Amino acid sequence: MSEQDKNIKDLKILITEEQIQTKIKELAQKIETAYNTNEDIYVICVLKGSVMFCADLVKEFKHNVQMEFIRISSYGNETKSTNNLHAIDLTLPNLEGKNVLIVEDIIDTGLTARFLTDLFKIKHHPQKLLFVSLLNKKCARQIDIEPDYYGFEVDNKFVVGYGLDYKGYFRNLPYIGYFPL
Ligand code: 5GP
């Protein structure tokens, strides 16, 4: 028995798999150019939502890459931000003087992005810190912060797919969609 209370038949596609993959190639090229060095890139995958994006993005990099994973939660099982960050695992190696790339799925209120940016600057002292988010919900912003790079701007909808979930479901979809009200 599935506990899923939304039906995939009702899902409307917002960004196709092809659009996502094309955008990722563009982003990877811009990000690599921005590091302006051949040194390794430490890619920080913010679980769980950015798992698909991060996996596809690193495949496009020509640099040597080290992948690290941290886990933060802010939505719980809701479709609106709880404004309540829950840092589940922030374990990382020494990143001092390294090229670091934070990879997020979506920036909504900006709370997580602010928290992560401050954390990395204050605690880890990277040589260069860049922030990429696949999606950018600018209209929902409560904190004045923008990623260095993002793939697509989305309006104030709750989106799922390609790593983004609703109650743990739909992460496995290769595209991004939403449930019309
Ligand atoms: P923020 O801290 O910017 O409000 O929220 C960041 C996190 O909230 C994202 O990493 C993501 O996990 C979650 N989130 C924000 N908007 C959405 C959305 O439309 N759909 C889903 N599934 N998660 C979202």
Q: Provide the strand spans (E) within the chain.
A: 12-15, 41-47, 65-73, 86-89, 99-107, 128-136, 149-153, 159-160, 176-178
pTM assigned to the model: 0.95
Residue 22 falls within a domain, yes or no? yes
Measured from the CB, is residue 106 less than 6 Å from ligand 1?
Answer: yes
CA of 37 to the centre of ligand 1 (A): 32
Active site residue 118: no
CA of 126 to the centre of ligand 1 (A): 25
Residue 131 falls within a domain, yes or no? yes
Question: Using the 8-state DSSP alphabet, how is residue 17 labeled?
Answer: H
> Rg (Cα) of the chain, in Å, rounded?
16
pLDDT tens digits, one per residue of 84-118: 888 999 999 999 999 999 999 999 999 999 999 99
Residue 83: the pLDDT is 74
Residue 11 falls within a domain, yes or no? yes
Domain count, the chain: 1
Residue 109 falls within a domain, yes or no? yes
User: Could you tell me what percent of the chain has a pLDDT over 90?
Assistant: 87
Residue 168 falls within a domain, yes or no? yes
Catalytic member of 5, 10, 108, 118: 108
Residue 102: the pLDDT is 98
Is the pLDDT at 129 greater than 90, yes or no? yes
Residue 80 falls within a domain, yes or no? no
Residue 35 falls within a domain, yes or no? yes
Measured from the CB, is residue 81 less than 6 Å from ligand 1?
Answer: yes
pLDDT tens digits, one per residue of 16-60: 999 999 999 999 999 999 998 889 999 999 999 999 999 999 999
Look up the domain containing 11 and give its range.
Answer: 3-75+89-178
Measured from the CB, is residue 134 less than 6 Å from ligand 1?
Answer: no
Measured from the CB, is residue 160 less than 6 Å from ligand 1?
Answer: yes
Residue 19 falls within a domain, yes or no? yes
